[in-house]
Amino acid sequence: MLKGSEAFSGFAVNDLAAAKKFYGQTLGLEVEDNGPGQGLVLKIAGGNGIFIYSKEDHVPATYTILNFRVDDIDQAVDELAGKGVKFEHYENMTDKKGVARGISAGQGPDIAWFKDPAGNFISVLKEG
């Protein structure tokens, strides 16, 4: 039934203005503002936009809502950290930069997690 249908993803935040600034200025993504109370759309490479909507009783996602593939994980982490992004650190998993080095361990991608202003998890990752 839905095989030929186009789809898009979405997620909630508690402050659209903060989300617009973070995704547009900090992450450097194109953000379309649909007008007051109408949400935002992230314009990402390779596909449909991602809808961001406001939810008063927002609870941050406990899983990664967006994964951005990068060619150089260290460069991406350094650039984002330079813009004020704080990376998550997990004992016995991430290095001092906040990168889980999966490629060298033969355990998946190199990946680093951070949060948006609403507390939702995002990652940058380099696949092997």
User: Which residue's entry shows tokens 């406990």?
Assistant: 62
Q: CB burial class (10 A; 0-12, 13-18, 19+) of residue 14? A: middle
Is the pTM above the cut of 0.75? yes
pLDDT of res. 77: 98
All structural domains of the chain with their residue ranges = 9-126
Pairing of strands 121-126, 110-115: antiparallel
List the chain pLDDT tens, one digit each, 128 residues: 888 888 889 999 999 999 999 999 999 999 999 888 899 999 998 778 999 999 999 999 999 999 999 999 999 999 999 999 999 999 999 999 999 999 998 999 999 999 999 999 999 999 98
**Pairwise CA distance, residues 22 & 85, whole Å:** 10
Name which CATH class applies to 9-126: alpha beta
